[in-house]
Structure 1
Amino acid sequence: MTKIFIKPIRLKFFKYVSIFFLLVSIHSIAQQGNYRFNNFGNRSILLSGNVTGSVSDLGLVYYNPSYITDVENVGFSLNAKGYQLIFLKFKDALNEDSNLSNTSFRGTAVMAGGIFNLFGTRFAYSYFTKANNNINLNYGSYYLNDAILAVFPDAVKHNAKIGLQSNLKDDWTGITWGKKINDNFSFGFSAFASFYTNSGLSNVNHTIQSSDNEVAYYQNIIGFKQKSYGIFIKIGANYHFPKFDLGLNINLPYIDVYDEGSYSYSEVISGVAPEYNLFVDNNFKDLSAKRKDPLGISLGAGIPIKKSKLHLNIDYVSSLNQYSRIDVPDIDTGDDTLTPVNFNEERKIVINFGVGTEVFINENFKAYAGFSTDFYALVNSTNIFDLASDGSKDIKVGDDFYHLSLGVNWTLKWANLIGGITYTNGSSKFLSPYTINFEGIDINNDINSSLTYTRWQFVVGIDVPILSKKVKEFTNKKKDSNKKE
């Protein structure tokens, strides 16, 4: 098998690794790069989160804590999320005939908590999963194309296998407090402890057999993991005007308390010739890491229309200058010099808007609908490994999502039942990044690839004012007992 192949084929593999890990990273961090990816609270979900100036359920702890002074006591509330169906598709990923797709059906994040009176004021406790995304993609194919044959002119068989895994979870636990300043104005804040874990793994294998039955093998494995524990603080206020309500919510930047990162890179080339065979293995633990989340300001209005209501919302989120999420040392890739690893993140200013409608049907039924934009904030999207990019192609991939929601609220004597459906869609196109120009071999790949994400959520939730009812019954019994004495 020709010996000239080693350097260019490694470049090509590096570019495959770079683009595929970039793709899977995009959707593992989509819930971070898109600020309105998930919504919380029973009615808030059905209004697509457009409730900064009108929240009326447990979602107030997230959207505007000042409304804790206005809502009824909720002894226990279970967030209206049930199951979600997710379609993820990479079209023309390696070549014009290779597609990766993944369909998953699983339970969604659950928000639980309650609102209660204590010391003459209002408090709330809450727990929810801010982000939860797990992706497992596998692709295998036998193919020979002009790009492969240009490097391996005597190749008769090529087997490519790629596996991608990504796991992201961010759990929030918090306490909320609010106070009514006067009949029209209220103030409140929420403090959340965040437990964040993000990890990814890419495994690429290529096996090529020549006409004289020689076999060349390539394997490249890249992995990372980041943990971060910190605090999010939200400050909210609302004012009741004669014909509408106006709400303001400020999300302070993330307060980083503890971070930890790890990174691994291994590469094997075998079966060519002793002078070209390669085995490198890099494994770094306890790396310095950092997590940042910018300042955000939301303004919303609730406008009554007879017994129905219109909900309007606009969000502003500030930018972040480029910083290193994980400080990875230069690694050994088998070259004469060490190779730097860029694990950077940078965010631009984002302005989102949305509208929701609450339609009164009768005393027991209300219908809800909502729409919101969810624009992508990341400029540098944590490209885990940006080797061999010649810089002449724009390979940044990110999705602007659009959210739709529809549902009903059925009021019973003992509880409120909520059910509905939400739809999320986003897609992006990019130019495949790899180009090879080495010792007379010139391969210029101009494949237009695309990435599409679609999610259907089937939601069901319940508000059961058990605790507040029991407390009231106990208080009444105590009063009756004192009167008898």
Structure 2
Amino acid sequence: MMKSTYLLFALCIFLIGQSVQLLGQDAHYWTEQFGNKSMLLGGNVIGSVDDLGATFYNPARLALQDDPKFLISAKAYQLSTLRVKDGVQKADLNESTFGDAPTLAAGSFKVPFMPKHKFAYAFLSRQQVNYSLGTRSELTYEYNDTWPGEETLYVDFNVNKTIKDEWMGGSWAYALNERWSVGASGFASILNQSRTYQLFEDGLSSDSSAVASYERTRIKKYSFTSAVFKLGVNYESKNFSAGLTVTTPYLVVRKSGKVDYDEVLAGFDLDEDGDIDNDARLIKNTTSDVDVNYKTPFSIGVGSAYDFGPVKLHVSAEWFDKVSRYAVMTPAPFYAQKVPDYLLSASGPLEIKDRLYDERHSVINWGFGVELSLVKKVKGFLSMSSDYSTLPETGPIADGLPTDNFTNSIFTANIFHYGGGFMLNFDKIELTMGTTYSRGTQTIGKIVNLPGDDTNPEVAVDVLWERWRFLVGFSLPFYKFG
């Protein structure tokens, strides 16, 4: 009976790979901010953005700019940390990365025969994710009744996910009168995603006379080239401003995908019939030119700001529509080369589909930022914003060999962002310095059940994701709005 828990061990480790490889941007829409001042205000500038970050937040605000030339977003560095407490037995799983954060570069230009219209271009990193988490363990205990004494189990496990979504495009804006303006942005999105899951387990009998081995590898890669549009309207008065934006779903114009599926098991008598060979399995397949699909939600954002004099308050909120369940990747089914008899269907060989699914809840993110006039030419900023997970609650994976119905992500924690910093004005140069802190935690069920270990089935573990960003940047020249 202990031996039959071996597959459960493999499945539970698979849960780790699904749970922790997608923390951050992939399940959240407000993880990134663009533009120096906008970063410090937590992106709560839909109705008040006053630099070329307007190309992203509200293109209608471009109509208020006094002939801006070029904006280099703050140079930001980030430290991201992922922790799974008691991830494998009492051992924590930890991963930290330090590097550049996504940035924005934008500029404006004129069209001679349209002097009252404003135009701009922008390059920004809409998503940038790179996580890798793994462990190597050597465990000694009794988990195989057919071998004498205690066995040694070697475990080598790793999951990795990378996402890169680059936007490039242009914006147009026009002032209808002194108070109202409209605008639109159009971007080309180039999205690349790669996810790799690898698990190697090797068992050795106490007398070194018998060896067992299990391998599972899953690699999924896809890329999309899409178009996305943002429409904006803005109202402006002496001390008050308000804006509204509409963002379209991605319109996919080009796509590609590839999957690898490997699974090998040898040397274990899982059904306790004394025949090791009858439990062996071999499943290998590579599929190129996979049918892929990618969906993003329709969204509506609103924001406003009121200038009290020494204090200016910025508030924003954005509603994102749901995305109904759909297949991201649908590779052609294939048949396992060899599996145990009890995994065969009545119709014959085991069919492997290996499809990848995704779905997203509707969410409303909100936040506020405070702009303080401290002394002449020096301003301070404080901000807080929500970043709710779009993912539905996850359920257990059924017993047996999972051949279909993998989800794109199951991390359901909500993230909150906190920011603060300073901006110094020197004639036509703005110097920005600040930091932001983001954090999300989630409690999930026991994610690793070792063979023969039936203790504490109700134990829960905590998953923590946090990120520090440190930014120093400048804008040249200084832009005056209003």
For the aligned pair, the TM-score class normalised by the smaller chain equals: 0.7 to 0.9
More displaced stretch, 373-382 vs 318-327: 373-382
Task: Answer yes or no: is the 8 Å Cα contact 1:345–1:380 preserved in 2.
Answer: no
Q: What is the SS of the residue equivalent to 1:449?
A: strand
Encode CA deviations 1:191-216: one digit per residue, 9 max, x unaligned. 00000011111111111111232111
Partner Cα separation in structure 1 for residue 148 and residue 420 of structure 2: 57
Shift of 1:71: 2.3
Deviation at 1:332, TM superposition (A): 4.2
1:325 aligns with 2:318: no
Aligned to 1:31: 25
Change (3 A) 1:110 1:442: closer
Trace 1:397-476 onto structure 2 (pairs within 5 A).
Answer: 397-432=411-446, 445-465=457-477
Greater shift after overlay, 380-389 or 331-340?
Answer: 380-389
Partner of 2:375, secondary structure, is coil
Structure 1 residues 340-372: Cα deviation after superposition (integer angstroms, max 9, x where no partner): 434111111101110101111233111111100
- The answer on whether the counterparts of 1:435 and 1:444 sit within 8 Å (CA) in structure 2 is no
Query: Which of 162, 169, 190 is 2:164 aligned to?
Result: 169
Residues 145/247 of structure 1: CA separation in 2 closer, same or farther (3 Å cut): farther
Verify: 1:82 aligned to 2:76, yes or no: yes
Structure 2: which 5+ runs fail to align?
269-275, 345-349, 403-408
Query: Structure 1 residues 401, 59: CA separation in 2 closer, same or farther (over 3 Å shift)?
Result: same
- Distance in 2, Cα, partners of 1:73 & 1:12: 63
Candidates 282, 305, 317, aligned match of 1:314: 317
Cα deviation, residue 277, structure 1 = 3.3
The one-letter code sitting in structure 2 at the alignment partner of 1:185 is W
CA 1:151–1:402: 2 relative to 1, 3 Å: farther
Q: How far is the alpha carbon of 1:441 from its aligned partner?
A: 11
Cα contact 2:310–2:373 (8 A) shared by 1: yes
CA distance in 1, matches of 2:265, 2:3: 9
Select 1:371's aligned residue among 384, 388, 407: 384
CA contact (8 A) 1:53 1:245 kept: yes
Residues 222-261 of structure 1: CA deviation (Å, up to 9, x unaligned): 1101111101100011112454111101111211111212
Matched, 1:67 2:81: no
- 2:314 & 2:134 partners in 1: Cα distance? 43
CA separation in 1, counterparts of 2:450 and 2:431?
59
How far is 1:416 from its partner? Answer: 1.0
How many angstroms does 1:442 deviate by? 7.6
Q: Distance in 1 between matches of 2:397 and 2:70?
A: 42
Say whether the 8 Å CA contact 2:391–2:410 is kept in structure 1.
no
TM-score (norm. length: structure 1): 0.86
Aligned with 1:263 (options 259, 271, 274):
259
**Which deviations, in whole Å up to 9, do the C-alpha atoms of 1:153-208 show, x marking residues without a partner?**
74331111101111110000010000000110000000000000111111111111
Note the alpha carbon deviations across 1:87-140, whole angstroms, 9 max, x for none. 111122233x13210111111112101123323121111101111111122201
3-state SS of paired residue (2:392): strand
Pair 1:354-2:367 in alignment: yes
Partner of 1:13: 10
Normalised by the length of structure 2, the TM-score is 0.87
Q: CA deviation at 1:263?
A: 1.3
5+ residue gaps, structure 1, are 390-394, 469-485
Q: Distance in 1 between matches of 2:148 and 2:310?
A: 75
SS in 2 for 1:361: strand
Query: Bigger shift: 173-182 or 64-73?
Result: 64-73
d(CA) in 1 for partners of 2:217, 2:431:
48
* Greater mean deviation of Cα atoms: 274-283 or 320-329: 274-283
**2: CA distance, partners of 1:208 / 1:244:** 69
1:397, distance to aligned residue in structure 2 (A)? 3.1
Contact 2:105/2:123 (CA < 8 Å) preserved in 1?
A: yes
Give the 3 Å change call, closer, same or farther, for CA 371–380 of structure 1 in structure 2.
Answer: same
Q: Which residue of 1 aligns with 2:194?
A: 199
**Distance across 2 between alignment mates of 1:305 and 1:342:** 55
User: 1:24 touches 1:166 (CA, 8 Å); kept in 2?
Assistant: no
8 Å Cα contact 2:304/2:314 also seen in 1: yes
Which whole-Å CA distance do the structure 1 matches of 2:40 and 2:456 have between them? 48
Distance 1:316 1:383, change over 3 A: farther
| 3-state SS, counterpart of residue 61 of structure 1 | helix
Task: Name which of structure 1's ranges 77-86 and 415-424 shifts more when overlaid on structure 2.
Answer: 77-86
Q: Which one has a larger percent helix, Structure 1 or Structure 2?
A: 1
Evaluate the alpha carbon distance shift between residue 152 and residue 341 of structure 1 in structure 2; reply closer, same or farther with a 3 A threshold. Answer: farther
State the distance in 2 between where 1:103 and 1:269 align: 33
Alpha-carbon contact 1:178-1:187 (below 8 Å) kept: yes
Alpha-carbon distance in 2 for matches of 1:206, 1:435: 14
Deviation at 1:313, TM superposition (A): 1.0
Offset at residue 41 of structure 1 (A): 0.7
The structural deviation recorded for 1:152 is: 7.1
In structure 2, C-alpha distance between the alignment counterparts of 1:443 and 1:380, rounded to whole Å:
25
Kept in 2, the 8 Å contact 1:158–1:206? The answer is: yes
CA distance in 2, matches of 1:228, 1:367: 40
RMSD: 2.9
For the residue of structure 2 that corresponds to 1:82, the secondary structure is strand
Instruction: Give the number of equivalent residue pairs.
Output: 452
- In structure 2, the CA distance between the partners of 1:299 and 1:82, relative to structure 1 (3 Å rule), is same
- Matched ranges for 1:12-411 at <5 A: 12-17=9-14, 19-27=15-23, 30-95=24-89, 97-118=90-111, 119-120=114-115, 121-144=117-140, 148=143, 154-213=149-208, 214-241=210-237, 243-272=239-268, 273-333=276-336, 334=339, 335-336=343-344, 337-379=350-392, 396-411=410-425
Paired with 1:286 and 1:384, the residues of 2 have a C-alpha distance of 28
Give 3-state SS (helix, strand or coil) of 1:265's partner.
strand
Provide closer, same or farther for how the CA distance between residues 347 and 284 of structure 1 changes in structure 2, counting only shifts above 3 A: same
| Distance in 2 (alpha carbons) for counterparts of 1:150 and 1:275 | 17
Alignment match, 1:472: none
Contact 1:139–1:161 under 8 Å retained in 2: yes
Task: Give 2:272's aligned residue.
Answer: none
